[in-house]
Amino acid sequence: NEVCAAFASVSVADAPIGDASAGRGFKGTFDGQNYTVEFWSADDAQWYRALFGYAAKGATIRNVTVTGSIDGVSVIAGICARAENCLIESCRNCADIGGSSQESGGIVAMARAATVRNCVNTGIVQSSSWCGGIVGYAQNSATVDDCINIGKVTGATFVGGIVGYTEPKCTV
């Protein structure tokens, strides 16, 4: 496991860390040291759009803020698009999140057995379904704890201020 640290505020475009479609998830520890990453997605026809496209088992992402605008088809978020068996903590999303299909979240779009805690969303989050201020879709015993959403969340079905849709055995 690698430990990555951000040393300055940066601006990135269309460069999520971890590739869900190829099954290559980020597995290390990322400590943003409370810096800000400005993220701009230029291609809104993509899936798994976020600072981290896929965080896999054992990954930890903490202490980072994302600003800007992140758009895509599905599984769109500020911090992590797909989080599986990992920890996302003390992160903040101020970016506007837009998914044309489903699974959009201010912090995480799809949380599978992941823990999301002490996070804040202030950005606008929108999607047709499974749209949440913190997590869009929580599944497989995911936990969302001590998080705050003050951003506007809009969608047609399964929309929530904290979590858009929660499967049984998840904790919010």
**What size, in residues, is the chain?**
172
* Angle made by CA atoms 112, 118, 120, in degrees to the nearest 5: 95
Kindly tell me if the per-residue pLDDT of 57 is higher than 50: yes
| Full-model pTM | 0.92
Res. 14: pLDDT tops 80: no
pLDDT (tens digit, 9 = 90+) per residue, 90-114?
A: 999 999 999 788 999 999 999 999 9
Distance CA 130, CA 49 (A): 15
Integer-rounded Cα radius of gyration of the chain? 14
